[in-house]
Amino acid sequence: MLPRPASGLVLRLRPLGESDLLVDLFSKEVGRLTALAKGGKRSKQRFFGVLLAGHLLQMSLAPSKSGDLWRLETAAVLEPHLGLRQDFRRLLAAGPVLELLLRATAPQDPQPGALELALITLGRMQRAKEAAEMASALVIFLVRLLKLLGYGLNLEACLACGRPAAEIEEPRLSLAGGLACPACPEAQGARPVLPGLIKSLAAALALEPGSLARLRLAPALLPEALAFLAAFWQEITGHDLPSLSLAIKTLS
């Protein structure tokens, strides 16, 4: 028997019939789940202003007969992430956070670290004043989520020959999953990057979650970091991630 989730981040809303809504959520207790909000399209009292993408909800859910669908009985907003809606760039920067939780995680597979990471990232984005701050938060989210979901990048040594990172003066990042040296041209989809990028990504992976909000990447590293991480995420998920392309365009 699955635990009953008590709080969750709204990822997506889909209309169902005349008056109902299907709500995709990411909860601490069971990971991604879908809940049916009866009358969610109509009910002004129960769910009005509550069911919006990016809201963190306190909720009561009841299991349904079909097992993988829950029924949303009550919901209240714990954190609206209002700052995201006050700036068009912030909202676009936050899009991939919701889309990746929706598309890259398995249903009902608890990933408490992923929810914590998403909330740290959205919290930082909703206060960000500059595009570089939003882009740093996005890079850190993209690289940390890879690790949490088991696709972690190897940044310590060349994937092909094992030469340590400290000895590689012209590093490249490969879609095979990490660092490649120039002497190993066969590394899949490898692209040259600035040496500082390898160090910054390694720092983003090593920090405690509570310290992540203070890590900033040098602005010169951001375009390379986002381009590589977008290509790698696309490789892993096997499809286009429109929100990620849009965020990168907006932040560049």
Q: Which of 75, 94, 160, 247 binds Zn ion (CB under 5 A)?
A: 160
Q: Which stretch binds Zn ion (CB under 5 A): 76-84, 86-94, 97-105, 179-187?
A: 179-187
Residue 234: CB minimum distance to Zn ion, A:
24
Residue 154: CB minimum distance to Zn ion, A:
12
Alpha-carbon distance of 81 to 84, in angstroms, equals: 6
Considering the rule CB under 5 A, would residue 220 count as an interface residue with Zn ion? no
Contact, 148 vs 109, CB < 8 A?
A: no
Helices of type H across the chain: 82-85, 88-104, 112-125, 131-148, 195-206, 222-237, 242-251
Considering the rule CB under 5 A, would residue 184 count as an interface residue with Zn ion? yes
Considering the rule CB under 5 A, would residue 165 count as an interface residue with Zn ion? no
Size of the site for Zn ion (CB under 5 A): 5
Considering the rule CB under 5 A, would residue 190 count as an interface residue with Zn ion? no
Q: Which stretch binds Zn ion (CB under 5 A): 1-9, 86-94, 110-118, 160-168?
A: 160-168
At 4 the three-state DSSP class reads coil
Alpha-carbon distance of 192 to 102, in angstroms, equals: 31
Residue 162: CB minimum distance to Zn ion, A:
7
Considering the rule CB under 5 A, would residue 181 count as an interface residue with Zn ion? yes
Residue 68 carries which DSSP code? S
Of 80 and 195, the one with the shorter C-beta distance to Zn ion is 195
Considering the rule CB under 5 A, would residue 161 count as an interface residue with Zn ion? yes
Contact, 176 vs 141, CB < 8 A?
A: no
Q: Which stretch binds Zn ion (CB under 5 A): 13-21, 123-131, 139-147, 183-191?
A: 183-191
Q: Write out the two tokens for 163.
A: 């030469």
Minimal CA–CA distance to 169: which of 204, 200, 196? 196
The 65-104 contact track toward Zn ion, x by CB under 5 A, reads ----------------------------------------
Residue 197: CB minimum distance to Zn ion, A:
17
Of 184 and 248, the one with the shorter C-beta distance to Zn ion is 184
Q: Is 131 exposed, middle or buried (0-12, 13-18, 19+ CB in 10 A)?
A: middle
Query: Quick one: CA dihedral 244, 15, 85, 59, positive or negative?
Result: negative
Site residues (vs Zn ion, CB under 5 A) = 158, 160-161, 181, 184
